[in-house]
Amino acid sequence: VPEGAVHMERAVAGTRTSPILRIEAPAVRGSIRLFSELMRLYLTEGLGIPPEASRLARIRLAVVEVITNVVRHGYAGMEPGPVALSLERSGNDLVGIVTDRGPKFDPYEGRERGRVAQPAPEELRTGGYGLGIVDQVMDHVEHRYDPAEGNVLTLRVKLQA
């Protein structure tokens, strides 16, 4: 892990403190596990979500799908650049922001949000389900492109129903 790539801090909101996780690593396959493990630690130890909670597994799956998409597609044909994740509790929500500095790309362009592809059994394929998973797990997903930050995907999910 490059020095300074992982940062955890506590933000003071009123009288409560809430941990913030920030990770930046190269957009390479080996980084996917790093993001997954650090998210697990943040959610269980930082936010106190029980490790066996199905909500924890679903949140990790959705965020790892986004990171995996950046690793696979974000820098296609280029030298891999950075991918960054920040996670922060905001009230009863978990807010995640994933950024990359690859070419401008809106993952939802031309796609309907909230619908997982359901191909016929004879058409099953590997890949292509990630955004559908993200849409099913997250309560809100928004993409924007900022020339200074690159692609910015904001994810929001309720921590408790």
| Alpha-carbon Rg for the chain in angstroms | 16
Q: Chunked in runs of 10, what are the mean pLDDT values of the chain (161 residues)? A: 54 59 94 94 91 89 94 93 94 94 84 57 62 86 93 92 61
The predicted model scores a pTM of 0.83
State the pLDDT at residue 109: 76
User: Both tokens of residue 20?
Assistant: 């913030």
- Given a contact cutoff of 8 angstroms between Cβ atoms, the answer to whether 95 and 153 are in contact is no
Q: For the segment 72-96, what is each residue's pLDDT rounded down to a tens digit?
A: 999 999 999 999 999 999 999 999 9
State the pLDDT at residue 122: 65
Measure the CA–CA gap between 116 and 50, rounded to whole angstroms.
28
